């Protein structure tokens, strides 16, 4: 569903220095308001999505701590069904 909202498999964003993952998610929601219901829950990043930076899974407690660098690649993996 995320891909359908942004209209692409990938988007490029320019970011300032000292930007963390939460800042990027906030900017995505500003640019694509329909993402809010998938990426944000109770004012925080939705715990049901998986964030990956440069092929490394990010621990949810590190969202504010990890400062992104130029050419970092963030992948947003939506929850998958199952049971």
d(CA 5, CA 35): 7
pLDDT at residue number 81: 61
CATH code, domain with 49: 3.10.20.30
Query: Domain range holding 49?
Result: 2-77
Residue 16 lies in a domain: yes
pLDDT at residue number 35: 93
Q: Which of 71, 79, 68 is nearest to 26 (CA)?
A: 68
Structure tokens of 69?
Answer: 């660098």
Q: How many domains does the chain have?
A: 1
Q: Are 45 and 74 spatial neighbours (Cβ–Cβ below 8 Å)?
A: no
* Average pLDDT for runs of 10 along the chain of length 83: 87 86 91 93 89 92 87 85 55
Structure tokens of 2?
Answer: 């995320």
pLDDT at residue number 55: 93
pLDDT at residue number 53: 94
Residue 82 lies in a domain: no
pLDDT at residue number 18: 84
Residue 83 lies in a domain: no
């Amino acid at each position: 569903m995320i891909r359908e909202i942004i209209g692409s498999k990938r988007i490029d964003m320019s970011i300032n220095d000292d930007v963390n993952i939460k800042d990027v998610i906030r900017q995505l929601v500003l640019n694509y308001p329909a993402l809010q219901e998938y990426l944000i829950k109770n004012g925080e990043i939705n715990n049901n999505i998986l964030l990956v930076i440069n092929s490394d899974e990010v621990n949810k407690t590190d969202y504010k701590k990890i400062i992104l660098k130029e050419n970092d690649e963030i992948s947003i993996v939506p929850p998958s069904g199952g049971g």
